[in-house]
Amino acid sequence: MLVMVMEGEPVNVNEFQELARQALPKMHYDYYTGGAEDQYTLKENVEAFRRITFRPRMLVDVSRIDFSTTVLGYNISAPIMIAPSGLHKLAHPEGEIATARAAAVSNTIMVLSSMSSCTIEEVASSCNAVRFFQLYVYKSRDVSAQLVQRAERNGYKAIVLTVDVPRLGRREADIKSKMILLQIKNFEGLSSTKVDNDDGSKLEAFAKRTFDDSLCWRDIGWLRSITKLPILIKGVLTREDAIKAVEVGVAGIVVSNHGARQLDYTPATITVLEEVVHAVGGKVPVFLDGGVRRGTDVFKALALGAQAVLIGRPAIYGLAAKGEYGVRKVIQMLKDELELTMALSGCPSVKDITRSHVRTQHEKFHSML
């Protein structure tokens, strides 16, 4: 495989973002990087991590660091998974197949978006790995049911139901650029993705026409009735919803604000993670996405109770810059940074990472009083 070598290889995820900006047409870069409205939450997702500091322990034997973990019983090399994100072919011609192969080589789990530019089947046959499938519920429930059945038939191990999109958030960069919708391959033969409106984002028009905004808690029962796969719920930000999610029998919760692309001025995910973790009381695993750019961020999320994090934009930046190699490189960077953070904090394994290893801004404030 030909690997592009640039003058000075990127040494962190933010440098990969700059490479992606250089590689992509502005419309596509804006689609991946943009958030909703004022983009307050977009900035806050990243900034909130910076307000959490470490309380490292000294004189701990860290000659061997083990950051492997399990998710729903599946072993992964590190608590870093690939979040569902749509239309990877806008970033690279191989699209989700390249991302899936990178996840497989990295021995981690990729969550394939239902808005993928490669089909469920193409990704399943591209490499052997544990994979989850992300689902939206559509006005045509039959379309949703068929996608779930295809995922189950093709060996996907869980359904990740996204619940924060009754309507698409106002993404002004996409409206300005009149974001063009690629053919979403999973819908071929099920539903047309052709959109006729010429005003604003085609993606927004597609979502308005197809997403079921009547979806509610009782519909989790419907989803459970059509699949044997465990269901994770993605998009929870409050204690109240976390409690309901456990009550309806989900297998896990992803604390997420949709990469700040839905409702602006929602809190950064890392700031509400503990609230959700305390609400579920260990009954189901809790995961986090949003704003993870460093291995230190992964450590902070684990210390606050996440079992693993999911990365969306970092994987896209790697894909846009250097294809499959780029995604692998981004994952490896985060692993290396996590390993160093664990060593310098006195944590030989992920089980050793505790709440007492970090201090939040709230705690800093109270310690000054």
Write out the catalytic residue numbers. Answer: 258
The candidate with the shortest Cα–Cα distance to 41, out of 262, 293, 264, is: 264
CA distances from 23 to 17, 91, 94, 99, 177 (A): 10, 8, 15, 17, 18
The neighbour count for residue 55, using CB atoms within 10 Å, is 14
Angle at 343 between CA 341 and CA 345, to 5 degrees: 65
CA gap 163, 213 in Å, rounded = 10
| The length of the chain, given as a count of residues | 369
Torsion over CA of 223, 234, 135 and 132, rounded to 10 degrees? Answer: -100
The candidate with the shortest Cα–Cα distance to 42, out of 317, 310, 266, 255, is: 266
Read off the amino acid at residue 365.
F
Over the Cα atoms of the chain, what is R_g? 20
DSSP reduced 3-state for 99? helix
Torsions phi, psi for 232 (to 5 deg):
-100, 145
CA gap 280, 49 in Å, rounded = 22
DSSP reduced 3-state for 168? coil
CA gap 138, 257 in Å, rounded = 20
- Tokens at residue 127, please? 């490499």
Q: Which residues pair with 309 in a beta bridge?
A: 80, 288
Read off the amino acid at residue 207.
A
> How do 69-71 and 74-76 pair as beta strands?
antiparallel
- Tokens at residue 151, please? 């995922």
CA gap 322, 320 in Å, rounded = 6
DSSP reduced 3-state for 134? strand
